[in-house]
Each structure stands twice: as structure tokens, then as C-alpha cells.
């Protein structure tokens, strides 16, 4: 058992539910006490989101906990099936269900004959993994839904754009704008920020899958195996980062991008970076502290250190996985904030310790008076936003 002063690391179940909640027409039934479902809906609110999926709980009381009575689950499934006629019902185990040993898979098999929808069971109850495992499982389950085998490949999917990441929809906007400009390609399905069950089914129709996080790789591999769709894994941070990301797209798509359209923005960013470098030479910007999801940290660190030449110190995010090594302690972070020339790209809890001029928020939580509207940090526009903030320091 571990003691946490900040957030504990969210469980696999939480990641799974946050991810599935984005899918329209998806019906999800939790076999558990009421409170966690309410909390799930509340947490989405704090992420600046609302559930697109229909989310239900069976409730669980002492009858279930002591006697193991699953009748409530059967009734709930039958009613939800009748009311919404969904194609799939995701049946999710709770921690209480897992501890008392309810066999959710067996129950789904047993109740399958009572409902028209296909029951997909999710075991575990959040006792064995961290949230990213759940994100991966949810994305993989959704990829399995893809079924339409159409030879015409006319669009692309974004995989791994989920509610656990701050501003994830703005990041998707940045990607879709670039893909449109560079390749005149429209997005089909943004998994899971903006997708329906129908979109998931049509994922095989796409020419390419853009994978934003490693948790989406198994989903991409499933789609590659099923439909032969290639994928590009990575995030476009910074000027060079975005350029090489677009080059990889070209390679996978087998055609040249419209660099003329993209270059105008790239040139503007290049001159902004030159301006910033002068400030860095004069000591106005000395170091960056970065925290957030691992791939955000990785991408931003590469941009800052390789392209801008700024030293980067890593700070453990308020709820990042415990395995990550923290380069600076909380105390050191506070000291760094007192030094001139320090700029931070950090999560919400750490953001509140820095004044607005010297911070960009990279991860949840969204806090009133702290979190400000900002564009996605990926792509050329995202990089320009970061550079401008640094110039203004």
C-alpha cells in the first residue's frame, strides 16, 4: 500500500471508463455500488467533458455482497437492451465485484441469451493495473468492433485521443487541420474523443491510422492485421518534430504532402524560434520544468532541448505512473520557481504554484483560476504558442 499526497495513480478501470465514455451510442453497464459511476461522470466534468456513452450502474448492496445475487445485473441488462436496442453492451466489473469474486465473464455468457445486444465483459475491477492499461484495453476493444471491409481508403483515424489528457480535443483539432492542409485527408474516427459505434465499425475504411500514444498501438496493430491499414506512431511537437512526423505520413501514404501550404506556417515558426534563441542567449529564459503524460513529456523535452537548446528538468506529474524517475523533487520545484528564467510546462496541481506568465498546463486537473484556454501543444500552431509564451517570459 502506498501513501500519496497528490493524486494516487488512477486504476486500469478508470482509464478504461474514461476512454469508453467518449463513444456515442456505446452502452456501458457497471456491476457495482452507485458511487463510482457518479464519480466517473463527475470526473469527466472536471476534464471539461461530458459522457457521450450511456453509462449505467446496477447498484450493489449487501444482498449482492454477501449472497452474490446477480439478478440485479440480469434485470438491468434486459431493460437497457429493450430501452436502447444497442448493438453492444460493455459490462464492467467493479472493485467490490472483483473482491467478492463475481464471475463477470460467466454472468455475461449466462445472460447473453436474454438480450439482443452483444455483451462484452470487462474484468478486473481496477485492482491490477494503472490507468494506461485500461486505456489500452478500451481502445483495443473498440478496434475489434471495426468490421466493414471496404477497399476504398479515403480517410484516416486518430487513435489514442482520450479524456485522460488535458485539451485532448484541441490536440485532435491541430492534427486534423494539418492532415487536411498537407494531405487533403478528412478524419473518420477520433478514438475515443469523437467517435460513435458506427465510426468504430468503419475504421477499416481508412488509409492510415495516426497513433498518438503507445496505449493505442495494439488497436492500430489490430486494424493493420484486419485491413492492412498502415499506422504512424508519434506526436508532432516542435518544428523539426512536426516536419519529420509529416514526412512519415508521406511515406506511409505513399504520396507527397502539400509542403507549399505547410511551409508558410513553418517559416513563421522558424523566425519566432530565432527570436526566442536571442532571449535565451541573453539569459531571459534559462530552463524548463516539464511534467505530464509520458509522451507529452517526451515530445516537449525533445522540442525544448534539441530545437530550442534549453535545459529541461523532469518533474513527476500529479498522477503519473510511479515507475517514472523524478529528476526534481517537489521542494526543488518550488525553489526553481523562485529563480528567474524558469518556465514550467506542468500539470494542474503544479501549475497553481507558478504565475501565469511562466507556465503552460500540460495535464489535468483543470482548476478554476489556474487553467486557461489554450490551443493544443502539438503541431506548428502548438509549437508557436509555446515559443510565444517563452518569448514573453
Partner 1 sequence: MRLKRLSEIQSSKDIFGDCSAISCGVFCPTFGVSVCAPLIQDGAVLIVGTPECTWYAKNSSIYHAIDPGWDRFYCCAMEEQDITFGENGAIIKAICDIAAESDIHCIFLASTCVPEIIGDDLEAIAKAGEKLSGIPVLPVRIAHYDHKCNEFGVAVSRTLESLGSLMEAQPKQPKTVNLLGRNFHSAVDGSLRDTELVKLLQTHGIAIQRILPDRCSTSELKKAPSVALNIVTNEVGRELAYYMEKHFGIPYVLFEPSFDLDYIRAGYDKLQKCLGISMEQELCGRKREAKAAIHNGRRLLQGKSFINGGRPPDAFEAAEFLAEMGMKPLLIHAYRLCENSSKRIEKILQRGWNPYVNYVANPEGAAALTEELAPDIYIGHGDAERLIDRGIKQIEMLLPPGKLGYEAIVYAVSALTGVGRREFI
92 vs 232, beta carbon nearer partner 1: 92
Question: How far apart are CB 334 and partner 1 at their closest, in Å?
Answer: 12
Q: Is residue 358 a contact point for partner 1 (CB under 8 A)?
A: no
Q: Is residue 21 a contact point for partner 1 (CB under 8 A)?
A: no
Closest CA to 16 of 198, 141, 194: 141
Going by their DSSP bridges, the two strands 231-233 and 186-192 should be labelled as unpaired
Question: How far apart are CB 130 and partner 1 at their closest, in Å?
Answer: 8
Tell me the Ramachandran region of residue 208: left when phi exceeds 0, alpha when psi lies from -120 to 50, beta otherwise: beta
- Distance, CA of 76 to CA of 64 (rounded, Å): 14
Question: How far apart are CB 19 and partner 1 at their closest, in Å?
Answer: 15
100 vs 170, beta carbon nearer partner 1: 100
163 vs 190, beta carbon nearer partner 1: 163
Question: How far apart are CB 355 and partner 1 at their closest, in Å?
Answer: 19
* Window 49-78: residues binding partner 1 (CB under 8 A): 54-62, 64-65, 72, 75-76
DSSP symbols for 239-297:
HHHHHHHHHHHHHHHTS---HHHHHHHHHHHHHHHHHHHHHHHTTS--EEEE-SSHHHH
* Window 106-165: residues binding partner 1 (CB under 8 A): 125-128, 130
From 365, 376, 379, 382, residue interacting with partner 1 (rule: CB under 8 A): 365
Q: Is residue 5 a contact point for partner 1 (CB under 8 A)?
A: yes
Tell me the Ramachandran region of residue 341: left when phi exceeds 0, alpha when psi lies from -120 to 50, beta otherwise: left
Tell me the Ramachandran region of residue 13: left when phi exceeds 0, alpha when psi lies from -120 to 50, beta otherwise: alpha
Q: Is residue 79 a contact point for partner 1 (CB under 8 A)?
A: yes
- Distance, CA of 271 to CA of 268 (rounded, Å): 5
- Alpha-carbon 219 to chain mean position: 14
From 99, 150, 261, 264, residue interacting with partner 1 (rule: CB under 8 A): 99
Q: Is 267 helix (H, G, I), strand (E, B) or coil?
A: helix
Question: Contact residues for partner 1 (CB under 8 A)?
Answer: 1-11, 13-14, 29, 33-39, 41-43, 46, 54-62, 64-65, 72, 75-76, 79-80, 83, 95-96, 99-100, 125-128, 130, 319, 349, 365, 367
Amino acid at each position: 500500500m502506498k501513501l500519496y499526497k497528490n493524486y494516487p495513480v488512477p486504476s486500469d478501470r478508470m482509464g478504461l471508463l474514461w476512454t469508453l465514455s467518449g463513444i456515442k451510442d456505446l452502452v456501458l453497464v457497471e456491476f457495482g455500488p452507485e458511487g463510482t459511476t457518479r464519480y466517473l461522470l463527475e470526473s469527466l466534468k472536471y476534464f471539461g467533458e461530458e459522457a457521450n456513452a450511456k453509462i449505467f450502474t446496477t447498484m450493489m448492496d449487501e444482498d449482492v455482497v454477501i449472497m452474490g445475487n446477480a439478478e440485479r445485473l440480469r434485470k438491468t441488462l434486459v431493460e437497457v437492451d429493450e430501452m436502447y436496442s444497442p448493438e453492444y453492451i460493455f459490462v464492467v466489473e467493479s472493485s467490490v465485484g472483483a473482491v467478492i469474486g463475481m464471475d463477470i465473464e460467466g454472468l455475461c455468457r449466462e445472460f447473453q441469451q436474454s438480450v439482443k445486444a452483444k455483451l462484452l465483459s470487462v474484468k478486473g475491477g481496477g485492482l491490477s493495473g494503472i490507468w494506461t492499461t485500461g486505456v489500452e484495453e478500451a481502445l483495443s476493444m473498440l478496434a475489434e468492433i471495426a468490421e466493414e471491409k471496404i477497399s476504398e481508403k479515403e480517410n484516416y483515424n486518430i487513435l489514442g485521443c482520450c479524456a485522460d489528457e488535458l485539451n485532448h480535443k484541441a490536440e485532435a483539432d491541430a492534427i486534423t487541420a494539418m492532415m487536411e492542409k498537407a494531405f487533403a485527408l478528412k478524419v473518420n474516427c477520433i478514438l475515443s474523443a469523437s467517435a460513435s459505434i458506427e465510426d468504430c465499425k468503419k475504421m477499416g475504411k481508412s488509409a492510415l491510422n495516426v497513433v498518438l500514444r503507445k496505449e493505442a498501438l495494439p488497436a492500430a496493430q489490430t486494424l493493420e492485421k484486419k485491413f492492412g491499414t498502415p499506422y504512424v506512431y508519434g506526436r508532432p511537437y516542435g518544428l523539426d518534430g512536426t516536419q519529420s512526423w509529416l514526412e512519415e505520413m508521406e511515406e506511409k501514404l505513399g504520396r507527397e504532402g502539400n509542403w507549399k501550404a505547410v511551409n508558410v506556417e513553418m517559416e513563421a515558426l522558424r523566425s519566432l524560434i530565432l527570436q526566442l534563441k536571442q532571449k535565451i542567449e541573453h539569459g531571459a529564459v534559462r530552463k524548463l520544468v516539464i511534467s505530464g503524460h509520458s509522451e507529452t513529456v517526451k515530445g516537449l523535452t525533445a522540442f525544448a532541448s534539441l530545437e530550442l537548446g534549453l535545459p529541461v528538468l523532469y518533474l513527476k506529474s500529479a498522477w503519473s505512473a510511479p515507475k517514472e524517475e523524478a529528476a526534481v523533487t517537489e521542494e526543488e520545484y518550488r525553489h526553481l520557481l523562485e529563480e528567474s528564467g524558469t518556465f514550467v510546462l506542468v500539470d494542474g496541481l503544479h501549475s497553481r504554484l507558478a504565475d501565469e506568465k511562466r507556465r503552460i498546463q500540460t495535464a489535468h486537473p483543470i482548476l478554476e483560476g489556474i487553467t486557461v484556454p489554450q490551443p493544443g501543444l502539438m503541431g506548428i500552431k502548438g509549437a508557436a504558442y509555446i515559443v510565444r509564451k517563452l518569448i514573453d517570459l
